[in-house]
Amino acid sequence: MGLSTVTAKQLEVQRIADALFKAIAQHRLPPGTRLVEAQIVETLQANRNHVQAALQRLAMQKVVTIEANRGAMVAQPTAKEARDIFSARRAIERAIVEAITPAVMRKQRSRITTHMNNERKATSGTDRRAIVRELSEFHLLLGEISGNTVLSDILGNLMVRSSLIVALYQRNDVPSCASDEHQDIITALEKGDNAKAVAVMLEHLDELERQLALEERVSGEFNLKEALSD
């Protein structure tokens, strides 16, 4: 009974953390948004203690900050953190791309094709939330099919922190990612040309960083209950 109780609590904390994580990654909770415990409890039908544990977990991952007398809020990465995160992504995503073989690509062909179709559909529209979701999912998908769960887990955290950076520093006149570059990476991996896939990925990440106006910051008030009601 003790073990099942502990497991149930862990699952509930993870559920809450995942809901917040997803809302932040998809720009429904921008940097600086106050995460009011009572609103999270009500919206997610959760226990306050579990909400507090979830917020602590996200704080350890640098996705949330918790300050005395102010409570929790979505993290607001500095310009230096932005550069550091992109540097880390280059290292992690290089390793991920290097690990993917043509055999893996053949095995995952249906899943990759489905994603690329969804990505093209999103990028041809105007729903920014859908665009952000699908373009980010591409990088996470490569992490998953690489077979290295450690790299995949690290990338998952970096992608959410990247979303915060994009929300703070992205120039409004350019997209945050490019579907054509994603297709070039897929084509190279299918041919077993990992060196080219790595080169395209690194240039892709360089371009994403160049699109950031690191001297600019934006903030505002957002409806927490609405953002979590997905």
- C-beta separation of 13 from 40 below 8 A: no
Listed residue (221, 209, 128) closest to 169, CA to CA: 209
> Which pLDDT score, from 0 to 100, does residue 216 have?
47
CATH 1.10.10.10 fits 2-75+218-228, yes or no: yes
> Which pLDDT score, from 0 to 100, does residue 224 have?
67
Q: Where are the domains of the chain?
A: 2-75+218-228, 79-210
> Which pLDDT score, from 0 to 100, does residue 218 have?
46
Q: What is the dihedral sign for C-alpha 152, 162, 112, 14?
A: positive
Cα separation, 90 vs 208, whole angstroms: 11
Q: pLDDT digits over 105-143, tens only?
A: 999 999 999 999 999 999 888 887 788 889 999 999 999
Q: pLDDT digits over 134-191, tens only?
A: 999 999 999 999 999 999 999 999 999 998 898 888 876 555 566 689 999 999 999 9
- pTM for the model stands at 0.78
> Which pLDDT score, from 0 to 100, does residue 192 have?
97
- CATH architecture for the domain at 79-210: Up-down Bundle (1.20)
> Which pLDDT score, from 0 to 100, does residue 3 have?
47
